[in-house]
Amino acid sequence: MNLDKLLINNDIKEDSVKEIVLNMILLSIFEEIYNHLERESNKEILKNKLRRGDTNVILRELIENIITMKLQDCDYEYISSLIIAYLRKNDIRKKLNDEEKRALLLEQEYKCEMCHCRINIVNSCIDHIVPFKMVGDELKDNYQLLCEQCNLNKSSSLNYYLKTIVKRFVRK
């Protein structure tokens, strides 16, 4: 079976798959940069460069030195925002209050972001889309609510985006 047939047979929108693949690629690029910055004194070297120069230019050079892929300006901006969040992150987790959790529930239409099962304020788990260890709580739109099972399965994985396609078809 080819991909086109799989999508058609299961009423999966091609655009949603493309969006998931793009997110996976951009997050994988960030993961490579994160791993680079975690090695030796690379993080401190970058911080020193940023104190002396143009942030956008320096971050774009960093990305281009690690990844040879041709990216659009919006991709550089997104990856740069992740790098900045990484540099600013605090190791203390922010706790979302019930009001913030209710707003997320409403935004997600009371469905788990991965498998789309019904969730509520009691049985949902707050999850960081980009793992906390990488960006802390620095990104304002980095939260989603998952059911307990999906939260356990996701852990601090970045490849969960691809799993979201299949999770919707798993028998409960």
Tell me, letter by letter, the H, E, C secondary structure of 130-162: CCHHHHCCCCCCCEEEEEHHHHHHHCCCCCHHH
CA dist list (Å): 13 to 5, 115, 141: 12, 16, 24
Condensed to tens digits (0 to 9), the pLDDT of residues 111-154 reads 999 889 999 999 999 999 899 999 999 998 999 999 998 888 88
Within this chain, do residues 83 and 117 fall inside the same structural domain, yes or no?
Answer: no
Burial of 99 (0-12, 13-18, 19+ CB in 10 A): exposed
H/E segment holding residue 128: strand 124-128
Q: Are 60 and 107 within 8 A, CB to CB?
A: no
DSSP state of 124: E
| Two tokens, residue 156 | 């601090």
Rounded Cα distance, 112 and 103, in Å: 14
Within this chain, do residues 118 and 72 fall inside the same structural domain, yes or no?
Answer: no
**Residue holding tokens 């004194």?**
41
Within this chain, do residues 38 and 59 fall inside the same structural domain, yes or no?
Answer: yes
Condensed to tens digits (0 to 9), the pLDDT of residues 53-99 reads 999 999 999 999 999 999 999 999 999 999 999 999 998 988 889 99
Looking at 88, 106, 134, the residue that finishes a domain is 88
User: The domain containing residue 30 runs over which residues?
Assistant: 11-88
